[in-house]
A and B are shown apart, each in its own frame.
Chain A
Amino acid sequence: MSQANRLAADAPHQFGGAGLDRGKPLQFRLDGRAVMGFSGDTVLSALLASDISAIGTHTGVPMRLDEAFAPLVALRSDPTHALPLQRLPALDGLDLVTFGTAPRPQGLLSRLLRRDDDRSGSLGLLVENLSSPPWINAQPQARLDVDTLIVGGGLAGLAAAAAAKGRTLLVERRSWLGGDARFYGTTGDEEPPEASIARLSASPAAEILLHTEVFALSGTTARAHQVLLENGRPIGRIIEISARTVVLATGTFERLPVFAGNRLPGVTGAIAAFHRAERFGVWLGKRALFSTGSGFGYRLALLAREAGVAVQRVSDTRLGPNSRFIDFCKASGVPFTSGLVPRSASVAKDLSGLSVDFLVGIEGIAQDAGTTETDQLVVGGARQPELMLWLAAGGATRWAGDHLAATGPLPGIVLAGAAAGYRRAVACIASGRAAISGNAAPIDDPMIEAIYETPDGKPPVAPPVDGAPAFLDRGAALLRRPADPTSLLPGIAIGLGAVAAAVEIGAIPPAIAGQIAAERALTGGMITDTGWKLSPPPPSQQLPGYLTGRFGAKPQTCVVTSADARFFERGCLIFARSELTDPQQAVGSIIAAAPGGGIGGLALIEREASAGKTRLFVRDAGGAVPIERIRPV
């Protein structure tokens, strides 16, 4: 399969793929389909390069394949061993199958029948059948004890690693260091991100594990899943890491803007689009349309244009924004508009790309702003600090205007960088250092004045479109925008992006967004029968408290029998007249079987009633039964 979505090897700004070795082509198979790539690719990047950008369908809707939502795979020779497609290096000769789904038949007829799937660039999976990562509930295969565990290899994590003393481990899920710093570029006279990354990475203080994702954190003990090569063969292993201090430098993620069709193949987040191009030389299609609420969307458009992408337009969700990048766009002839939000994306009529409807996004006005066909819609979303591990460890969050921010301390755990709310590179680096030194002095994180750089816009929320689902988040939760924001949430764990989106659509009042995040944003966990058994207390000989005072202050305990020698069940009520049924008029109750297994039962009866000559009746399932004999115990 050709690599139709690969940019030129010599594309500027390293958009030929800084992580690739184009001199080392490779080929692997996934579900029998041959996929080409280069050394340095992940399986995901090679699939995207080969124009396989759909995972399959969900309730009939095509779903995109991306860094946040991809199936697990396994070696055909070891189909029980799941590996994450995003973190799995592409290797020549790999023969992979999607994990947990039925293998694709290899017969001629089957291949002919699924030809359309293969041509359409889809893995052809039913999203409903995808497995969740089995390692979340598995036992660790390795244990490490370190002084400091740093989660995240962005600028803050690298700065913390460089400053750390003692045994330090830095884990990074991606195949590279630097986080999203390269996407944001340089502000003012700051050190360029590449230079910062090189400088901080050069410090030898920490051991670094790439392709490793921390998926659980309890106290200062983390569990991570690592993909590594063993005898040239990819394997996954679970590591339990105990640390004295955990630095969460987990950065931010780009939220999914809420509009119909926001998870179709061809709709891509701006940060994901940047990394695909810069690391792997991958760009979906030839034409691209950009929707952004910040200056960085313009920057990406400019870089893409210089790398050979036909940039059709940059649509800004803000009205009349200012940015140095807008000035660059003007100078470069990149068309742009402002005050427009994507209303919906749909598969183009000729199936060759996307059809994107825009809407005037000014409050109170909902006017159509035309339709554009494109190969890729790059949408910049609001930034949300990645705080899932913070929450897993018991940390709290609160709504901070347009995102959930961490609040309060956690013993042994420190947030750093963008996860802690810092924006500028210098502040992220300083906060990484401070996480190690314990220096609580405020860190300067100046923003460019609004007259020069309009602040990032609030995430736009397009009105619902009948029959076209809008999802609230990326990832596996697949939570659609509810038709009625007051409807209950189904039984699914959701991410912080969905919580934030739910605030934006009015499903969650901002005051309780942190509470919802704590309840719903879980990093996994299974409910299983562990063999727990009830340990019943021994039967008590004492009269239960609930019978106290029920039949007078000094009731009589008696054995009662009937003429037909029946056994009375516990709980049966005793009345002074046969026609009475109201339990409040009962004068007694059967409280146990008769001693020695005899007929009748042991009763608790009002003293006066038991001593009186009036006949009493036990009411059981058969009706009122006269008591023949009362023998006090």
Chain B
Amino acid sequence: MKNRLKVHRAIKDLTQEDLAKLLGVSRQTINSIEKNRYVPSTLLALKLSKVFEVHVNEIFELESGD
């Protein structure tokens, strides 16, 4: 699964730390999602879509192997 978290974060002009604080998670969690090392739960994905004011599908996208 690939994601556009970094792009949406840049649009909102948020650092990883800012976003982590908004979501109540660690900066390491945001960094791991951005680098595709961790797939977030549905709950966290929905919270991200709420912060960025876009649909979840605009942040996360399934790849052919998924």
Q: Real complex partners, A and B?
A: no
**Residues of A near any B CB (own CB < 8 A):** none
**Residues of B near any A CB (own CB < 8 A):** none
